[in-house]
Structure 1
Amino acid sequence: MSDLKAAREKTVRDHMRLENEGAWEDVLATFAHPRYEFQMPRPGSPHPIGIFDGRDEVMHYFRTSRSAFPDLGNEILHVVVGDGDVAMVEFNLLGTHLGPLKTPAGEVAPTGKRISVRMAATFEFAPNSDKIVSERPYTDPRAILLQLGVGQ
């Protein structure tokens, strides 16, 4: 494995570990420019994907997701660093629904239920760098709601 690939894998693993720890400033430091692109609509947004661009919006994402799931975390299953500027991660998203969850269909009251949702994410890197320029998580958006017992 090249030095750059190894550095990128370390960045991805550190990024996800730091999310689990709630070390937000350290998570932000893994980015060249903080950006998440969720492949589902952001409540109240006209965009087909949920984009959180820049420090303030990414911090808003961290706060809102952790208000619904205070113990939200991930369990890495696989990391693959390609020859281009993208790495892929397969993981389980874990958490307990203890706060209101905002969805495009409205707010879901806390259920107290625990979720474990299989997901994947791509991490795009700045050319010749181990700094992330975008994280793109992918999952079936109904998966969380089904595990909470409120979706179909």
Structure 2
Amino acid sequence: MGDETMSDLTERRLQTVRDHMALECVGDWDGVIATFEHPRYEMYGSGAVFDGEEDVRGYFAASRTPFPDQSNEIIALAHGGDTVLVEFWLMGTHLGPLKLPGKTIEPTGKAFRVRMAASFEFAPGSDKIICERPYFDQLAVPRALGLM
């Protein structure tokens, strides 16, 4: 780290999260993977864990099947310790089959916009992500689509 100040590291981490989320919006999965030291998602709502590049790429493919235009809009960012917190709007259009527990919902063409939060954990002294933890209500998107 040398003579680098913590504020420099903080700004690089905030920029990594901005870049990560922007790359998700355009489906640049190689770029998203490059923001990680080790790709890992821990889904707070469902308890699912996607660990390693293969798992994470599978998650990207599965989550974009029902919502190929899925995107996000950052509302706020905060940094503390080795974590960046982000609040954001998650948006998309139901254009593919949506798998829900016990059933699959065919495309409705309806759009959704739900408020979410996520934490991004960084390796100490690094601007590379070691884990993203989205926090969300699993029923928020089906409710926003009028499916519940």
Where in structure 2 are the equivalents of 1:50-129 lying within 5 Å? 50-82=48-80, 84-129=81-126
What is the distance in 2 between the residues matched to 1:40 and 1:106?
19
Match for 1:78: what amino acid?
A
Which one of the candidate residues 22, 30, 33 is aligned to 1:25?
Answer: 30
Helix, strand or coil at the partner of 2:77 = strand
Helix, strand or coil at the partner of 1:137 = strand
How far 1:26 moved relative to its partner? 0.6
**What 5-or-longer segments of structure 2 have no aligned partner?**
1-5
Say if 2:15 is the partner of 1:10.
yes
TM-score (norm 2): 0.93
Which one of the candidate residues 143, 147, 150 is aligned to 2:147?
Answer: 150
Match for 1:139: what amino acid?
F
What is the distance in 2 between the residues matched to 1:88 and 1:76?
11
What do you get for the CA RMSD once the two structures are aligned? 1.0
How far 1:149 moved relative to its partner? 1.5
**What 5-or-longer segments of structure 1 have no aligned partner?**
42-48
- CA offsets, 1:31-57, max 9 Å, x none? 00001111133xxxxxxx011111111
Say if 2:39 is the partner of 1:34.
yes
Match for 2:142: what amino acid?
L
Runs ≥4 in structure 1, deviation > 2 angstroms?
A: 103-106
Identity %: 56
TM-score (norm 1): 0.91
What is the distance in 2 between the residues matched to 1:75 and 1:10?
15
